[in-house]
Amino acid sequence: MKDIITIGDAMITLDPSHKGPMRYSSSFERKAGGAEFNFAIGCSRLGLRTGWISRLGNDEFGRYIFNFARGEGIDMSAVQLMDGYPTSLNFKEVMEDGTGRTFYYRENSPVSTLTEKDLDEAYIKDAKVLHITGVFTAIDCEKNKRLIKRAIEIAKNNGVIVSLDPNIRLKLWSKEQAKETLIEFLPYVDILLTGEDEAEVLFDTSEPTQIVEQSNIRGIETVAIKRGEKGAISYHQGEWCTAKPVPPKKVVDTVGAGDGFDAGFIYGFLEGFPLDKTLRFANTIGSMVVSVYGDNEGLPYLDEVLTQLGEKELIER
């Protein structure tokens, strides 16, 4: 049995050789990234048995991503390489303070071939958790909404926990479209992992008690609110927990921090950690990620998190 599976896209990420506006970047380094892809890597590095449902182009870029993910220990049996659909690209712009923008090139994407009819019920029912995000849904809203609804239906019929990170990317869809679509998923979600800005889109509030109240109304019993430099707040079946921010050594790149937090929270949940430990564990991973440049390069292994938390001694020599 797999601990967790996720559904989504992966892309070749082209990182600039120096910081500043992308129009002045003349060279880029090829890497791989994507919200669900990063999440899967984060889970696998923590030791969770992780599966991924996706489509990649049957080209050099697609084979690079496939082999990279397989090397990270992710089960790739539900990922296919598709002829005639080039692997998607994104170019990153990174500023001196670690903030940045992403420019997507996803036309004729391989995941456009993935439909609800391609879902393997046995693959989903063989997992403890199904993790979904708003990113994949936004790529092709109507088709992927049907696909995600079918995946959720299979999960709920087989006792699989459903977690959702809204991960709203306004370059992919409008606030109105994101809210209308994601609200439909919420009654079937068990764990909501949201940022304050995303909660504002979904619930018209970023106030924690109101976010939890709106979640509870829809049957969601576990909520984690990511607040960046302000830390995080979580709620589980009547219990509240607030975690102070974990200051990073240096903010280098904020991409992937939310995916790392999600992986850490799910790990703590599956391991049966108390809520405060789960939140501290997830918060620590988010802090570790922003200290390393790249989409998933900073996602830590379990031993590294335990060392950061002071639960394991670091032996340098």
User: Which residues participate in catalysis according to the annotation?
Assistant: 259
Alpha-carbon dihedral angle through residues 299, 301, 307, 309, given to the nearest 10 degrees: 60
Phi, psi of 261 (to 5 degrees): -60, -45
Give CA–CA dist 226/191, Å, rounded.
13
Give CA–CA dist 290/99, Å, rounded.
10
- CB neighbourhood size of 134 (10 A): 27
Question: Could you tell me how many helices (H) and strands (E) the chain has, helices first?
Answer: 11, 13
In sequence order, which residues have a C-beta less than 8 Å from that of residue 299 and are 6 or more positions away?
38, 41, 42, 45, 256, 259, 260, 263, 285, 289
Question: Strands, DSSP E only, in 178-226?
Answer: 191-195, 222-226
Give CA–CA dist 40/51, Å, rounded.
7
Single-letter amino acid, residue 115: T
Angle subtended by helix axes 257-271 and 35-45, to nearest 10: 40
Edge-to-edge strand order for the sheet containing 127-133?
79-82, 50-57, 2-7, 127-133, 161-165, 191-195, 222-226, 232-236, 239-243
